Amino acid sequence: MESLQGRFAELLEITHRIVLAAEVLGAKLTDRTAEMVALPRDAKGNASPKEAKRIVTKAAADLDQYTAQIEAALLLYGDAMNPWMDSFSKDATTTVDFDHDPSAVRQGLDAVIMIRNTLATSRQSTVETRETIASLPRMTATLNKAKRGTIAAIDRLHAVFARIDTLVSVTEKNIRALSDE
């Protein structure tokens, strides 16, 4: 049970970091927009192309940094998820078969429901981030490449979320069956 709780906390921490990274990216993109709007303009209303490109390059770097955070989270999810599910399934089966302690099984079921809810919140947050990034106008090759990379990373993250959701659903179903709920 101790291993299970440790893995559960690890999964929640990874998920929380992804949501936080999306919030930080959103703030940075807002700053970049404000910087672009604040650029001095000539009589025709045009900003310096050099200064505009500098800001766009910074936005691309912000996207690349976010992409790297997602890629790291994907690796961490893989390292944490399978042992978590394995520990959870073993613990639930042992608890029901040998200890006859339905309250422990209920705690496990509550944990599964909590991870499902956390994943749903994270998924929604990343959907919104993806939409924001996809709506950025095409500007420079650097920004366009960063956009594509970030969107691809978010899509891979959504695939991991879907796999985790499937594992959590199966585990929840099995626990409910074991506990006659």
pTM above 0.95, yes or no: no
Nearest alpha-carbon partner for 136 in 48, 25, 46, 40: 25
Q: Helix 49-94 crosses helix 141-178 at what angle (to 10 degrees)?
A: 10
Domain chopping of the chain, boundaries: 2-178
- Fold adopted by 2-178: Glutathione S-transferase Yfyf (Class Pi); Chain A, domain 2 (1.20.1050)
27, two tokens: 């703030």
The H-assigned helical ranges of the chain are 2-38, 49-94, 102-134, 141-178
| Bigger pLDDT: 12 vs 73 | 73
Contacts of 39 (CB under 8 A, 6+ apart): 47, 48, 51, 52, 55
pLDDT digits (tens, 9 = 90+) for 97-142: 545 566 777 777 787 788 888 888 888 888 999 999 999 999 899 9
